[in-house]
Amino acid sequence: MGLLVILNNYMHDLAAGTWLAANAFRWALVKRHAPLSPEMADATHGVDLLAAASLVYVIVGGLIRLAAFGTYEMSEALAKGQGVLLGFKHALFILAIVAGEVLRRRTKRLGQAPA
């Protein structure tokens, strides 16, 4: 079970970074090339799907992580004296999720984001 929790934690962190990166890419593309041609808009559909899938995994993986947090993550971090670092890391990841959402909304305001 511990190995699955570690894998989920890794994928959860990766999904958070992917959410931010996909939205940053989409925002930069639209800001520079707005309005997007139909071909370019179709090509960015995969980025939109990747961003959406990443956010879904952040939520689902986060629920799994929360359920296992006390048993697998927090006790180990506290034993190693890393409780503050773990809290800081989670604050950074929350910031990444919020930043991704801000970029998604800015892109939508430019009229080039999916619904």
Q: What residue ranges do the domains of the chain occupy?
A: 2-109
Residue 75 pLDDT: 76
Spell out, as residue ranges, where the chain has pLDDT lower than 50: 115
> Up-side HSE of residue 39: CA atoms within 13 Å toward CB?
0
Residue 71, pLDDT score: 82
**pLDDT for the residue numbered 87:** 87
In this prediction, residue 112 carries a pLDDT of 55
Q: What sign for the dihedral angle of Cα 99, 18, 25, 88?
A: positive
